[in-house]
């Protein structure tokens, strides 16, 4: 491979990018748009759940019970009801996602040591949100129930029983349990995959459609020089996008970067080479811009969004789909980016994932060169 010819192809592609400012603007503006859009819109935090309450007791104790929900930050007690029909209407209209029904004589049954049934109705149309609501409500009820039981025992002059367990939970790596802290690192991998594959696939397909590829064939440029020369300027643009998304994640969304920025850039570079090579391969095979853009989106966005573990946990997927995820490079870079961002771990803990990305980049780049060699032949 001749470095001069490779650099000439890279310079030609750079001039083409400079002469087409719309493509360059798209390459810079689209990552920002995607990061802001998904960063603000895609949230898995379940807080301030609208709740309707039917308090049939109206006692001080029942109001204290309701205040446990309203003051938790998980529920927003915004409506009151006086019948089951009003509760049903509020949930059907979407005004409430949960309902709390307190029976009559709530305060009288507690001092007598009797179990008081309290009904919680949850809108199960969204299974994930409903599960979270049930878990949050169960924790609030257990905490309130333990406090009331101890107070009743104290007033009765009984010896307050010691609780057998004293749980003191501590959350590592993401103490606030904020979804943005693990969504933003995942968005970096998704944005890189989309942009890299889309840019390079379109540029190669454009060469075939405009007929300039035949001109390049008549030159002494070899397939490897052509592929690597086209890859270099888009690699630089991709690195700029990486820096831009990291800066936005830190200063706009407040996501901490606890690990090494250098390691993140290094692994991102390897992942970038692989996705750029995939885009070149798509452009070489399809040879039309319309088909290239469709295949690039289908081969990068959907796997990166659905099968990388960014939104849906891989362990909850059916086992045939779990096997498919092992072939998705975004899965491995997602593990790397989250490990560096949230845990601050290094290459010793991320060696297997980094090795896969390195092998993936080398294999796809080699296939792209071989396919171009076949096309030229």
Tokens of 88: 């049903």
pLDDT at position 162 is 59
- Verify that 103 and 240 share a domain, yes or no: no
pLDDT at position 363 is 93
pLDDT at position 269 is 92
- Longest Cα–Cα distance of the chain, Å, equals 99
- Verify that 353 and 236 share a domain, yes or no: yes
β-partners of residue 99 are: 52, 121
Sign of the torsion angle spanned by Cα atoms 306, 311, 315, 317:
negative
Q: What is the pLDDT of residues 322-374, one digit of tens each?
A: 898 998 898 999 999 989 988 888 888 888 999 999 999 999 999 988 887 75
Domain boundary among 155, 190, 217: 155
In a domain, 167, yes or no: no
- Verify that 215 and 356 share a domain, yes or no: yes
Q: In which domain, by residue range, is 149 found?
A: 49-155
Classified as helix, coil or strand, 55 is strand
- Verify that 203 and 339 share a domain, yes or no: yes
Sign of the torsion angle spanned by Cα atoms 136, 141, 144, 146:
negative
* Nearest one of 245, 119, 252, 260 to 186, comparing CA atoms: 245
- Verify that 7 and 126 share a domain, yes or no: no
Classified as helix, coil or strand, 219 is coil
- Verify that 186 and 335 share a domain, yes or no: yes
Instruction: Report d(CA 262, CA 154) in Å as an integer.
Output: 59
In a domain, 165, yes or no: no
- Verify that 137 and 69 share a domain, yes or no: yes
Element (H, E) at 102: strand 98-102
Answer yes or no: is pLDDT of 63 > 80: yes
- Verify that 280 and 214 share a domain, yes or no: yes
pLDDT at position 110 is 67
pTM value > 0.85: no
Q: Measure the CA angle with vertex 368, ends 32 and 8; round to 5°.
A: 75
β-partners of residue 55 are: 102
pLDDT at position 93 is 82
Q: Measure the CA angle with vertex 88, ends 87 and 90; round to 5°.
A: 65
pLDDT at position 217 is 66
Mean pLDDT of 105-109: 76
């Amino acid at each position: 491979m001749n470095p001069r010819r490779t650099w000439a192809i890279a310079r030609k592609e750079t001039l083409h990018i400079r002469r087409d400012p719309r493509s360059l603007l798209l390459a810079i503006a689209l990552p920002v748009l995607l990061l802001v859009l998904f960063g603000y819109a895609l949230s898995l935090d379940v807080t301030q759940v609208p709740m309707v309450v039917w308090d049939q007791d109206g006692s001080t104790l029942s109001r204290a019970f309701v205040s446990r929900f309203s003051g938790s930050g998980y529920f927003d007690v915004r409506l009151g009801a006086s019948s089951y029909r009003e509760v049903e209407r509020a949930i059907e209209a979407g005004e409430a996602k949960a309902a709390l029904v307190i029976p009559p004589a709530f305060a009288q049954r507690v001092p007598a040591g009797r179990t008081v049934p309290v009904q919680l109705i949850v809108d199960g149309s969204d299974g994930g949100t409903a599960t979270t609501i049930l878990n949050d409500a169960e924790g609030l009820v257990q905490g309130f129930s333990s406090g009331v039981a101890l107070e009743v025992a104290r007033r009765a002059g009984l010896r307050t029983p010691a609780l057998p367990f004293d749980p003191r939970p501590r959350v590592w790596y993401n103490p606030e349990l904020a979804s943005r802290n693990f969504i933003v690192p995942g968005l970096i991998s998704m944005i890189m995959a989309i942009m890299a594959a889309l840019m390079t696939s379109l540029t190669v397909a454009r060469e075939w459609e405009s007929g300039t590829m035949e001109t390049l064939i008549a030159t002494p440029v070899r397939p490897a020089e052509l592929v690597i020369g086209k890859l270099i300027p888009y690699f630089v643009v991709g690195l700029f996008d990486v820096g831009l998304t990291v800066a936005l994640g830190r200063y706009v969304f407040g996501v901490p970067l606890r690990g090494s920025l250098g390691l993140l850039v290094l692994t991102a570079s390897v992942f970038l080479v692989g996705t750029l090579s995939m885009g070149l391969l798509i452009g070489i095979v399809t040879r039309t811009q319309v088909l290239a853009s469709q295949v690039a989106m289908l081969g990068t966005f959907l796997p990166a969004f659905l099968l990388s573990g960014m939104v849906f946990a891989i362990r909850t997927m059916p086992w045939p789909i779990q096997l498919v995820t092992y072939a998705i490079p975004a899965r491995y870079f997602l593990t790397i980016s989250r490990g560096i961002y949230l845990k601050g771990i290094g290459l010793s803990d991320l060696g297997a994932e980094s090795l896969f990305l390195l092998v993936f980049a080398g294999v796809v780049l080699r296939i792209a060169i071989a396919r171009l060699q076949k096309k030229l032949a």
